[in-house]
Amino acid sequence: DTGVSQDPRHKITKRGQNVTFRCDPISEHNRLYWYRQTLGQGPEFLTYFQNEAQLEKSRLLSDRFSAERPKGSFSTLEIQRTEQGDSAMYLCASSWTWDRADNEQFFGPGTRLTVL
Amino acid sequence: GNSVTQMEGPVTLSEEAFLTINCTYTATGYPSLFWYVQYPGEGLQLLLKATKADDKGSNKGFEATYRKETTSFHLEKGSVQVSDSAVYFCALRGSDTGNQFYFGTGTSLTVIP
């Protein structure tokens, strides 16, 4: 396994269109996280899954955003009716974590979204 | 609430210079603290961490000590190399916020030969 992968790496879309991103975590990892990073800022937490259950969602995750991890492996993040403010780098990370242990989160390379 | 404040960059140093990147935090309870690094064209990687007060995290010559009294977690390295050029992010995980990580804005470091 070569790490966390994300697809696509770049996405350009027009305002109002829907987009979907995919994240493939490291295979044995049970937790999967989504972050958003805008230029000059650090990553902002969006949501995370433990196996297939979505356990936390940030207030940043508006109703237009939805994330799934149907079989506890890969995850998708969909943005409906995109807005220019959605332009950002979307990062995925995964970890093998139990209880509240602070195990390392391994990050993918990100998907850069540009909304025109 | 929880937040992280990092010194603004960019920082440019000559090879073998001493590096300090300041990081202070605001948190309720007892957070865990992290430094992540992002090399050009790559994803974020954990550099070091500390989970309780007075702990020192270290890796690849970098060190940071969890100072509860000053709410700080400054990153230091005694002698930087060109290969250390990257963006460095300070982050915390609050003890009362589940698994949310809070990141600083990042500090870009360029080391020149």
pLDDT in tens, B45-88: 999 999 989 999 999 999 999 999 999 999 999 999 999 999 99
Reply yes or no: is the peptide bond before residue B10 cis, omega within 30 of 0. Answer: yes
What is the model's pLDDT at position B56?
97
Note whether A42 contacts B89, CB cutoff 8 Å: yes
From the centroid of its chain, how far is CA A47? 8
Q: Is B113 on the interface with A (CB under 8 A)?
A: no
Tens digits of residue pLDDT in A56-68: 888 888 899 999 9
Which site among A102, A103, A106 would you substitute to test the B interface, given the most B Cβ atoms closer than 10 Å to its Cβ?
A102
Sign of the alpha-carbon torsion through B84, B76, B62, B23: negative
Measured between CB atoms, which of A40, A58, A110 is closest to B43?
A110
What is the model's pLDDT at position A80?
97
Give contacts of B99 with chain A, Cβ < 8 Å. Answer: 31, 33, 48, 55-56, 97
Residue B98: pLDDT over 70: no
Residues of chain A short of pLDDT 70, as ranges, are 1, 98-103
